[in-house]
Amino acid sequence: MIDILVGGFYGDEGKGKVASYLALKDKPEMAVRTGSINAGHTAVYKGRKYKLRSIPSGFLSPKTKLIIPPGALIKREILFKEMEETGTKERIFIDGHAGVITDAEAEEERKNALLSNEVGSTKQGVGAAESKRILRSLRLAKDYPELAQFMMDVPAEVLKCIDNGGKVQVEGSQGHFLSLYHGEYPYVTSRNTTSSGILSEVGVGPGYAKDIIVIFKSFITRVGGGPLSGEIGQDEAKRLGMDEYGTVTGRQRRVAPFDVKLAKDVVRINSANQIAITKADTLFKGAGKVRQYQNLPKQARDWIEDIERNVGVPVTLIGTGEDALDMVDRRSELIEE
Ligand code: GTP
Ligand code: MG
């Protein structure tokens, strides 16, 4: 069956961290990375930090096949560089219909005033390439001889894997409120970032989904323009240890406190049955690197349980540090209950 990881706010909630943890624990047969190079996912393990813009964060599980689905977009230079850095060339598979971005698209976006000045796009060429695809003029992975060795019919192989009882992890990118359809247009990205959009990039139906995990961070961050309710100043964010800098652009992210009401709406729309919350260690002193729920400070546990009561869905995973394994995992409690 398929597990879907979806960002609950404006991206950068820590999908890379949750995906890498779950891959190490669950060892899925396949890890699929949706979206494109405008989203940077961070995975930290054994003292190394990987910033991934193309390869699934589940690569840390050594036998997992790493999949780029038809709805994703790649840039060859970035893909090959990441394959090299992660040593994963033999287990990368790309659907022939994945779109291919070139410098031409990035150049187009740099010249676009709306994207540059107002929307605050990362200008990696993703939107320009996607619009070419819609106009049927983008070249796809199957059109490039240097990608021939990686070709896979992804929906067919995902179904085969499921038929054999295998697990498929699907890693969303960006977040709910950046969705082209459901976010705050025009301050959105060029794709549908919600759970249904993520599945459509893979190309199989919702009936195969088992767990849909919405990932929140213990505070909200946003890059680029657009509304951010409850936004605090950059100095205050620094004082609270909530200052973050974009993986792709290096820009300081805008910050707001966690919002339970937003979280509830997001969980319902994405039909999530679990919540993951990262960076509990930023919000609560004494939560750093904790791996057992009962060892979290009482204040942190109360906060988590308050979210569960208000949202009506269990918080199964709680991030307590950068390392993939710095995680409180309550999934087994669910099954026993
Ligand atoms: P997008 O697809 O771009 O939305 O990215 P993402 O959701 O994968 O998040 P990203 O890696 O861009 O940002 C999250 C940051 O928080 C990274 O620097 C992570 O290393 C860090 N991080 C994630 N989880 C935790 C945690 O539980 N504790 C701490 N201290 N850091 C964390
Ligand atoms: Mg990111």
Q: Tell me whether residue 41 is one of the annotated catalytic residues.
A: yes
Contact 26, 167 (CB under 8 A): yes
For the stretch 48-100, pLDDT in tens is 999 999 999 999 999 999 999 999 999 999 999 999 999 999 999 999 999 99
pLDDT at residue 210 in the model:
97
Q: Tell me whether residue 182 is one of the annotated catalytic residues.
A: no
The answer, yes or no, to whether the previous bond of 206 is cis (omega within 30 of 0) is: no
Global confidence as pTM = 0.96
Among the options 3, 12, 281, 323, which is catalytic? 12
pLDDT at residue 257 in the model:
96
The answer, yes or no, to whether the previous bond of 257 is cis (omega within 30 of 0) is: no
* Cβ < 6 A, ligand 1 pocket: 7, 11-17, 39-42, 44, 173-175, 247, 278-279, 281-282, 319-322
- Collapse the DSSP code of 221 into the 3-class scheme (helix H, G, I; strand E, B; otherwise coil) and give the result: strand
Q: How far is Cα 208 from Cα 192, in angstroms, rounded to an integer?
A: 19
Q: How far is Cα 306 from Cα 327, in angstroms, rounded to an integer?
A: 19
Atom of ligand 1 nearest to the CA of 318: 27
The residues pairing with 274 across neighbouring beta strands, listed in sequence order, are 213
Which residue from 254, 179, 262, 168 is spatially nearest to 216, judged by alpha carbons?
262
Question: Which residues have CB atoms below 5 A from the ion given as ligand 2?
Answer: 12, 40, 247
Q: How far is Cα 291 from Cα 323, in angstroms, rounded to an integer?
A: 11
pLDDT at residue 336 in the model:
53
Residues 6+ apart with CB under 8 A from 116: 109, 110, 123
Q: Give 38 Cα–ligand 2 centroid separation in angstroms.
A: 8
Atom of ligand 1 nearest to the CA of 321: 28
pLDDT at residue 248 in the model:
75
Q: How far is Cα 170 from Cα 199, in angstroms, rounded to an integer?
A: 8
Q: How far is Cα 30 from Cα 73, in angstroms, rounded to an integer?
A: 18
Closest residue (by CA) to atom 14 of ligand 1?
14
The residues pairing with 238 across neighbouring beta strands, listed in sequence order, are none
Q: Give 165 Cα–ligand 2 centroid separation in angstroms.
A: 31
Q: Which residue has the higher pLDDT, 38 or 334?
A: 38
Distances (CA, A) of 144 to 73, 230, 309: 14, 47, 51
- Judging by DSSP bridges, how do beta strands 254-257 and 48-52 pair with one another? unpaired
Residues 6+ apart with CB under 8 A from 173: 7, 11, 15, 33, 34, 35, 36, 39, 41, 193
pLDDT at residue 334 in the model:
81
Q: Give 36 Cα–ligand 2 centroid separation in angstroms.
A: 11
Q: Rounded mean pLDDT of 115-120? A: 87
Q: How far is Cα 6 from Cα 12, in angstroms, rounded to an integer?
A: 11
Atom of ligand 1 nearest to the CA of 40: 3
Closest residue (by CA) to atom 20 of ligand 1?
322
Q: Rounded mean pLDDT of 21-44? A: 97
pLDDT at residue 251 in the model:
86
Contact 82, 55 (CB under 8 A): yes
What is the secondary structure of 180-196 as a DSSP string? TTTSSTTSS-SS--SHH
End-to-end alpha-carbon separation of the chain, Å?
Answer: 22
Ligand 1 probe mutation, 6, 12, 34, 266, most atoms within 8 A of CB: 12
For the stretch 170-206, pLDDT in tens is 999 999 999 999 999 999 999 999 999 999 999 999 9
Q: Give 133 Cα–ligand 2 centroid separation in angstroms.
A: 24
- Collapse the DSSP code of 168 into the 3-class scheme (helix H, G, I; strand E, B; otherwise coil) and give the result: strand
Contact 256, 297 (CB under 8 A): no
**pLDDT for 337 beyond 60:** no
For the stretch 233-285, pLDDT in tens is 999 999 999 999 987 778 899 999 999 999 999 999 999 999 999 999 999 99
Ligand 1 probe mutation, 10, 17, 218, 285, most atoms within 8 A of CB: 17
Q: Give 287 Cα–ligand 1 centroid separation in angstroms.
A: 16
For the stretch 140-155, pLDDT in tens is 999 999 999 999 999 9
pLDDT range class, residue 335, cuts 50, 70, 90: low
For the stretch 209-229, pLDDT in tens is 999 999 999 999 999 899 999
